[in-house]
Structure 1
Amino acid sequence: MLYKNKIVEVVGTKEIFGQKLAWIKILADNTFLEVNFDELEEEKTVQSLPFVRFIAIAAKIKEEVAKKNILAPYESSLIPLPHQILVLEKVMQSSQNRFLLADEVGMGKTIETGLILKELKLRGDIKRILIIVPKSSMLQWQSELKDHFNEVFHIYDSEMITSMARTFSNINADHEFNFWEQHNQIIVSTDALKPLEKRHGWSDEKVDEYNKYRMEGVLQANFDLVVIDEAHKMGGASQTVSRYQLAQALCNTVNNVLLLTATPHRGKSDHFRRILQLLDPDAFAGEGLPNINELEPYVIRTEKRLAVDYEGKKLFNERETVRFDVFLDSAKHHKQIALYNAVTNYVIQGFNTAKRTKNTATGLIMILFQRLVSSSTAAILSAMEGRLERLRYGDDNSIENYATDYDKSEDNDIESLDFDGVYASAGEGIVDEESILCDLIEQAKVCLTTEVDAKAEALLIKYQELQKLYDNKDLKILIFTEFRSTQKMLSNYLKIKGYRITTINGGQDLDERKAALTDFKNNAQILVATDAAGESLNMQFCNIVFNYDLPWNPMMIEQRIGRVDRIGQKLKVKAFNMLTNNSVDLRVYEVIEEKLNNIIEQLGIDKTSDVLDSAIDMKKINKLYLQSLLDPSKFEFAGDKWLHEIKLKLKDFQSTEGIIPQVKEEDIEFKKAAEIKHSALPKWLENLITQYTFINDGSIKKDAFGVFNVKLQNQSKHITFDAEIAINNPGIENITLQNDWIKKILNELIEFNISNGIPVVKTINGNETPGIWSVWEISAQNYFDKKATYQAFFLADNGKLYSAYANDIWNRLISDTTEFSFIESQYKIHEETYMDCLKNVLLSSYQNLDAEVSEKMIMKKENKIKSFDFQKSRIEKIGIENIRISKLKKLEEEHSLWLNEFKRNKKTLPGIKHLISIRINE
């Protein structure tokens, strides 16, 4: 039936004062209305082969969805890998959604999170989601969730929060606004959210207001799921650290929690327990390291060595890191050598002055200058010109002044400087810095215009060798530098040499970076990138990395190489660490790269990036470089001491690594991923839309690129059923199960009316068994749950039912457009006799569903009570009294309401819908 052109089902009728009224269900959105019966119209359905195929395909899709344990993989633009599907299944099979996802680096924890939140949304379990990530990862998270899962998240950075706090605090209203409730899906950085205890120059009232619009506002915003990336950074040194207090309060407030980290324990039992207490404060309230049995309900970890593809083949290839020495020739590069020595002497004098005056800001600038001169002449020239300018017109006492030179990221930022234990010579400090800088700038300009950069020249020669080795003139290489001025010099040099170059740096927004990445993938031979590219972009199509200058934090080298050494890399990754023959960098490199790697190998640890992230203290690395610079005679002792400390840390790591429950190799079933990869759903959706278009007098055409142009009811759509096509072509709509058009079409399947006769079809060969084929929706539902199945039956003229034959006809109808032909639409059958033949099989199907629903209701009640007790225990730990009382009251009211509803509405009701019947003629 139709009501105002909407397809409806008539639930019941009644007559009042001579008027016939109907209680109807609008199928598109499952809403109910009471209307005048005269307003209803018969839907005019023209029976045809496209109509028969449309119903058959729609029913097949609904049956496929009904029997799936998980749906999220079918709703993403990528095919999840076997270990990612295993993580999703483990979370969904658990009675609680509070997990620590601890896969090794590069295994796709962002994808796993996207799958889990998508699945929870599809099931209606969550609506409001908060994701807390490092500032450098915000855009990457937003991009991947949109590209892969079509989930739109809004970024709340510090500036936006401050602006909204100012705006909302000025709103004079009876109801206080909470801007954290304005969006359901939010990404925020850890630093933007964490509370303050005090701030220099701020009153207690101002600190309270600051916290009110951050931590308190978030706690009151009633999120359903909180995700914390890099969760190990939340642990802090104690429970009093503001980051931990934030995480603890949030996890006590929100029912669903995902913590992500590749290094959960870091060799420290107290730190590890603090992280685990975010999931369950009671289960992990003890001391020391918990055992595997305690951890298994909460922790999932997959090692790289177990990662396989859809055919069961290992995902990760070998990686080779090579030291690439660049020797500065005393004749050819004498000006570069002289400049390096002169700048180094200036840095030593400047650092000694900074230490004597306890000027840490100048000390940091001197550290930066040493790194700049090791990078390139262009880099140090730009920085010195900037410093001279600022010294002439005011103090230059902040490293932030060098933001345009130093393309810092959250992970490679220069740490605050500790002078303790750093040698300062007895020699003079800087007397006339402006004069020194003028001389150095002139020296750098002459060097830049008269000599070719030694490293640039060596890199070009090595690239040409690699082109020959790989027999590929378009061989792609990724070059990393910390400094934009070096990036500019190098890209100009390579362009002049005739190479196709593109660049990425921190001054570009995410769209610009993506455009550069696309250019690199499709056209450019060389990408010259600062560490901004190490934060958000994956480049598995390239396998060669040059570290043009080496960051002082060796973890950054791992992250750079990790841009290409990722899932999907087909070739062996090769990384070249470029070093010139100057004493400062060489000495430290030999310690932090070569000697450290030897220790790692001796201990049998192959998780290099995980270990480094846990063990490295950048303040100590800074001191190693300074010791190499200021007093080389004491460097060997300092280096050995540092290595000894690291070795102890690594042994601690090794001793505690075994407590983490690992995913077993036999648990990773690659065939499940292969099933998703080769799923028929996209093809069925394509056939569904094709038949729907035909029966509604529209047209559909597919172009050579896989894009369909659909014209229907005076509207035109450009669609595809391939997610990759949609990603690469903005404006093309990707059609999936969750597309509103698909949901509307599938929801509007109406009861088939056999009183006017049924269609008659026959096959081309005419060898079918004559009889009636039909498809039915059988359901069992109550207020809380619904189970449905879609079944095909074939009733032969001899009165027997053949289930296998029924499914064979179903499969042929949805896949073969030529096998069947349409004869007529008025074949009459006796409805009562027909239903008598089917009633036993329909009843049996319902009884199976009823048993499933009843079993699930028992589990649902048990889980609800457990969840209530758990939430109550967590909320009672919230330190902010008004929030604690408010949330406890709300929780108890909701729980009481749910129990009453459960008691009243747990009875299961049967449902039968006849979708289609056709006569198969002999």
Structure 2
Amino acid sequence: MKLIRSDRPRLLIADEVGVGKTIEAGLIIKELQARREIQSVLIICPKPLVTERKWLDEMKRFDESFIHLNGETLNYCINETHLDGTWPSRFSQAIVPFSLLDEKLMLGNTQGRKVTRGLLDLDEPPKFDLVIVDEAHHIRNTETWRHRNVKFFVENAEAVVFLTATPIQTREQDLFNLLHLLRPDVISHPHDFERIGAPNPALNAAAAGARRAGLGWVDTVKSNLATALDTVWGLGVLAHDPRTHELRELLEVLPTAETRVKIIRLLEDLHTFSGFITRTRRRDIGAFTTRKPRTIEVPFTSAQQQLHDQLLQLCGDIVEARHGTGPVAFLVSGLRRQAASSINGLAPLLSDLVHRRLEAFDEYAENTDGANELSRDVIDNFQPQLQHLLNLASKLGDEDPKYDALERALLEKLRMPNPKAILFTSYLHTVGYLFNRLRASGLRVGQVHGGIDDEARRSVRRRFKLPSSDPDAFDVLLSTEVGTEGLDYQFCDMLINYDLPWNPMRIEQRIGRIDRYGQQSESVAILNFVTAGTVDADIYHRCLWRIGVFEQALGASEAILGDITTGIRAIAGDLTLTLEEQRLRLQQLADNEINVIEEQLKLEDQQSELFGLEVPSDDGADVRNATSPWMTPDALCHLVVEFLTSIESGKRFNLRPDRAATLRLSRSAKDRLLRQHESLPKAFPADRDWVVWLKSENAVTHLTVTPELATEAEGVHLLSPTHPLVRCATEELQLNDPVVVSARVRSDKVPAGRYPVAIHGWNRLGIRDDYQLRVIAGSPEESEMLTELLRDPDCADGKATMSDTELDHLEAAHYSAWRDASEKHTQRTAEWSESLIASLTTTSRANLRLLEEQLAGTSEERIKRMRSSQIESAKADYQRRLARLESIRNRSDIQADLLATVLLEVVA
């Protein structure tokens, strides 16, 4: 609803891990299809989600058919767009992995005589109706080709949705980069980001004060509201917002519990980024399992300790010789963390370095943006030391306390009813070492990492999902970070962190693979393996464990966790610190942030409790209005059966929500359906499979109204409200004349008797068409009650009559309801438009003042470099806006939707 009602259909969905962002994207697709012509959808996501068919299968729940694009088909689409001017229709609903968004895609490529066109070669760029970017934090780095390619698609899209549980990874600049890409018309510069966001700390403090509801909370809200309104954005925009006026009126009287909830909602709505960011926290849903973390700390053997100590000595020498910056810091960090992960897996890494196979660091978990690159000269001067360490590592043998503890834990898990366990590590060599040893011990184990091709990866995950009774099943899955995003393992209730990322949000992504909506177990076990005496052990005990990331989702604290990540890297990477100094600084880092996190979680808990009150809620009404009781699975089944019976009389069709039904039609019936489909007002890409069957010689297909049944088997058509069979049935059976029927219900909510009632369809045309069914009875109270009762009648038939008096009363009641709704709408539109005009005028003046202030503070050299036309253009644009606003102000008779259109053009 937020996306549909926004001034521009662009939204960042920052729900926490496991809440259901993919399903929300599917809902958005269906809503947009129902309200406007939407033909093309592009989904951009990490490659594992393509390999595992995550989006492909999830969209089948919504009767949507997508196609995965590989390098060849993507190049074909670009070439066809160059030749025809439009993206090829059969790829209009496509899924593209991030891995294809490289320099060649943007600029093209020439190999000999073969020329491959890039996006910038196109005269007309591909224009998608909707672009969805999953795990959007991957495009936060503006210097990558991935970001530039996504920007190209976003700039030419009608609607855009970003999905990410972690919009802030390490710094607030991440959020600016995402919002600037999403809404450059609003967030055009870091100064804009700061200026627009300036009121938010005070608004958050006001909302926090209202949630606590302590002594003097009203004064706290008033004070913080005044602070928010005293900012540039507050004076120019928020002061003219109707919600601000409503908020002030509520604060002037003694607020009740109900009005306090409304005050909190208004404060949250005034948050200046709320128009294009939405966030649902796991605690708001309350249906998640309990996390049970356990620490398993093991020592080094004497041989492992000797190798570790000499490795630290080498790292210190490298830092001292090369000053510890750039690739050197990356190399040192990678060596130390591989040793902490699995020192027995260090030998192959050292061998790679000795032989200068520097791609060994490709799967380093923290290096997601390729910011650090090793070069051969970094290690040339340290070959003797590396060779010596390799000799020590090669002699370690099989004695490994950490592996022994892991094997014991897994054997214990195998004796439980659910033996499944997933293990995460940051390092490819750790996976290889564990895989070989666990398999030799007789465990059924699979591995997933970047070196395994897509088909093999799918096979491994499929076998992991099989019941343990299946002889082909895996009980244990070993995965590097490629498995931490977007993939669902609700059937597994044990996660093992064999090593730990220094970024708490990456830990949350790991845990979110099993602790997510749909987990059947009451609790999930989280085993954290730590090797005593390593830097990871100190980070774990003194920082990660203390902030509580293993016990609860900290998704609402990205900015804080980003600061912690930056601090951890700085402290751990400083080899000039003694061990005790390092530990002290890690503890200080955690202490500084724990109180902030605890206070934030406490306030969120209070908010969740407050929203649980049985009080009127505008948001709740929106959700109820968006959920039609007339399109239930039972109603769709009834509609389709009635329609099929009308075209194949004498046949019996049995369609029920609890199972898939077999549909057998004659050639003449299929031809009739094909003709009806061609006459439908609009078609959707998902219609292709239905049309293919209608044209085929196969007389049989399968139907269901249950998404789960459609995803479990191939070739089953999901009958959603937009399926062509349902739309044909709607067109065929729609009523042109009033029909009178009787219905009988049992209820103690109203006295027994005869209740004349009329059901009218209200169709509101405008920028956003809206259709709703209104039940009209003798009084508004009766209308509301009968709306509920009519949804589930005991019986209904067509034998009914109404007297003229009853019909007249219903018509009068209908006219009264329509008139009241129209007057309220007109009044709201007038108030909103006047407020928006005043807000836009003030904002334009504020923008001009800001421009003048920026110019006044700019150095003379920079002013000389600026073209005078830029300044004149900005002033001319301001004058045009004022003139446009005045013309709108003078046209008082303009219709509400036309006014909205013009105002949106002014904003743009």
TM-score range, shorter chain: 0.5 to 0.7
Q: CA deviation at 1:682?
A: 0.8
The answer to whether the aligner puts 1:325 opposite 2:307 as a matched pair is: no
Question: In the superposition, relative to structure 1, how do residues 593 and 657 fare at CA in structure 2: closer, same or farther (>3 Å)?
Answer: same
In 1, Cα distance between the equivalents of 2:702 and 2:297?
54
| Structure 1 residues without counterparts, runs of 5 or longer | 1-87, 200-206, 309-313, 331-336, 391-395, 418-428, 763-770, 794-802, 815-819, 908-922
Q: Aligned partners of 2:603 and 2:609: how far apart in 1? A: 17
Superposed counterparts of 1:300-319, under 5 Å: 306-308=283-285, 314-319=286-291
2-structure distance, mates of 1:258, 1:718: 52
> More relative contact order in 1 or in 2 (CA 8 Å, sep 6+)?
1
Secondary structure at the residue paired with 2:484? helix
Is the 1:857–1:906 contact (alpha carbons within 8 Å) kept by the matching residues of 2?
no
1:273-312 aligned at under 5 Å gives the runs 282-283=233-234, 294-298=267-271, 306-308=283-285
Please tell me the residue identity of whatever aligns with 2:659. G
Structure 1 residues 297, 130: CA separation in 2 closer, same or farther (over 3 Å shift)?
Answer: farther
- Structure 2 equivalent of residue 59 of structure 1: none
Equivalences, count: 718
Q: How does 1:606-755 map to 2 (within 5 A)?
A: 607=554, 610=557, 614=561, 616-618=563-565, 620-625=567-572, 634-651=578-595, 663-668=607-612, 681-697=632-648, 700=653, 706-712=659-665, 713-714=669-670, 715=694, 716-751=700-735
Deviation at 1:324, TM superposition (A): 0.7
**Equivalent in 793, 802, 823 of residue 811 of structure 1:** 793
Contact 1:106 1:567 in 2 (8 A): yes
Alignment partner, residue 551 of structure 1: 501
**Against the structure 1 CA distance between its residues 655 and 551, is the aligned structure 2 distance closer, same or farther, given a 3 Å change threshold?**
closer
Q: Do residues 540 (structure 1) and 494 (structure 2) align?
A: no
Q: 1:845 aligns with which of 814, 820, 830?
A: 814
Is the 8 Å Cα contact of residues 252 and 875 (structure 1) preserved in structure 2? no
Question: Which residue of 342, 360, 374 corresponds with 1:402?
Answer: 360
Cα distance in 1, alignment partners of residues 149 and 579 from structure 2 = 49
Cα deviation 1:92-143 (Å, max 9, x = unaligned): 8999989887766655566556656754664449999999999999999956
How far apart are 1:857 and its partner, in Å? 4.4
Structure 2 counterpart of 1:463, from 396, 410, 414: 410
Change (3 A) 1:613 1:235: closer
- SS of 1:187's equivalent in the other structure is strand
The equivalent position to 2:322 in structure 1, one of 347, 357, 370, is 357
3-state secondary structure, aligned to 2:528: strand
- The letter for the 2-side match of 1:610 is S
Report the residue type matching 1:371 in the other structure.
Answer: R
Match of 1:574 in 2: 525
- Residue pairs, 1:94-493, within 5 angstroms: 107-108=19-20, 115=27, 119=31, 122-124=34-36, 146=59, 154-155=95-96, 157=98, 160=101, 162-163=103-104, 165-166=106-107, 177=123, 179=125, 181-182=127-128, 184-187=130-133, 189=136, 221=156, 223-224=158-159, 227=162, 229=164, 230-232=166-168, 236=172, 246=181, 249-251=184-186, 282-283=233-234, 294-298=267-271, 306-308=283-285, 314-328=286-300, 337-338=303-304, 341-342=306-307, 344-346=309-311, 348-358=313-323, 360-376=326-342, 379-390=345-356, 401-404=359-362, 406-408=363-365, 433-438=382-387, 440-441=389-390, 444-445=393-394, 447=396, 450-451=397-398, 453-468=400-415, 471-472=416-417, 474-493=418-437
Equivalent residue for 2:477, pick from 493, 513, 527: 527
| 852, 856, 878: which one aligns with 2:825 | 856
Judged with a 3 Å threshold, the aligned counterparts in structure 2 of structure 1 residues 688 and 601 are, in CA distance, closer, same or farther, namely closer
Distance 1:772 1:321 in 2: 60
| Bigger radius of gyration | 1
The one of 509, 515, 526 equivalent to 1:565 is 515
Query: Is the Cα–Cα contact under 8 Å of residues 504 and 516 in structure 1 kept in the other structure?
Result: yes
Contact 2:26 2:59 in 1 (8 A): no
The answer to whether the Cα contact below 8 Å between 1:538 and 1:563 also exists between their aligned partners in 2 is yes
Residues 267 and 652 in structure 1, CA contact (< 8 A), matched pair in contact too? no
Name the amino acid aligned to 1:408: A
Greater strand fraction, Structure 1 or Structure 2? 1
SS at match of 2:489: coil
- Conserved in 1, the CA contact under 8 Å of 2:637 and 2:656? no
Give the letter aligned to residue 270 of structure 2: P
Q: Is the 8 A contact 2:297 2:531 kept in 1?
A: yes
Distance of aligned partners of 1:143 and 1:654 in 2 relative to their CA distance in 1, 3 Å threshold: farther
- Going from structure 1 to structure 2, the CA distance change for 1:252 and 1:430 (only over 3 Å counts) comes to closer
Once residues 746 and 792 of structure 1 are traced to their aligned partners in structure 2, the CA distance between those partners, rounded to angstroms, is 23
Change (3 A) 1:161 1:124: farther
Question: Which residue identity does 1:494 align to in structure 2?
Answer: L
- What residue number does 1:767 align with? none
Q: Which has the higher helix share?
A: 2
Cα contact 1:415–1:619 (8 A) shared by 2 = no
Aligned to 2:444: 500
- 1:836/1:720 CA distance change after superposition, 3 Å: same
Measured against aligned partners, the alpha-carbon deviations of 1:710-752 in whole angstroms (never above 9, x if no partner) come to 2332344422111112223343221122323323322333556
- Per-residue CA deviations over 1:503-560 (Å, capped at 9, x if unaligned) read 3334568887666444323233212111222222232322222112233445433432
**1:642, CA displacement in angstroms?**
3.5
Measured at CA, do residues 220 and 381 of structure 1 come closer, stay the same or move farther in structure 2, by a change above 3 Å? Answer: closer
Deviation at 1:181, TM superposition (A): 2.3
Alpha-carbon offset, residue 687 of structure 1: 2.2
How far apart are 1:466 and its partner, in Å?
3.5
Are the equivalent residues in 2 in contact too, given 1:133–1:228 (CA < 8 A)? no
Does the CA-based 8 Å contact 2:660-2:703 persist in structure 1?
A: yes
Could you say what secondary structure the match of 1:563 adopts? Answer: coil
SS in 1 for 2:814: helix
SS of structure 2 residue aligned to 1:319 = strand
How do 1:84-99 residues align onto structure 2 when only pairs under 5 Å count? Answer: none
The SS at the match of 1:249 is coil
Structure 1 residues 894 and 687: alpha-carbon distance in aligned structure 2, compared to 1, 3 A threshold: farther
Scaled by the length of structure 2, the TM-score of the pair is 0.61
TM-score by length of 1: 0.60
Offset at residue 360 of structure 1 (A): 3.7
CA change 1:657–1:512 in 2 (3 A) is same
Please give the alpha-carbon distance, in whole angstroms, between the structure 1 residues aligned to 2:344 and 2:321.
30
State the 1:681 CA deviation: 0.6
CA distance 1:128–1:284, shift in 2 (3 Å): farther
Distance 1:745 1:408 in 2: 53
- C-alpha separation between the residues in 2 aligned to 1:862 and 1:125? 31
| AA aligned opposite 1:726 | A
Distance in 2, matches of 1:487 and 1:158, equals 23
Conserved? CA contact 1:351–1:362, under 8 Å: no
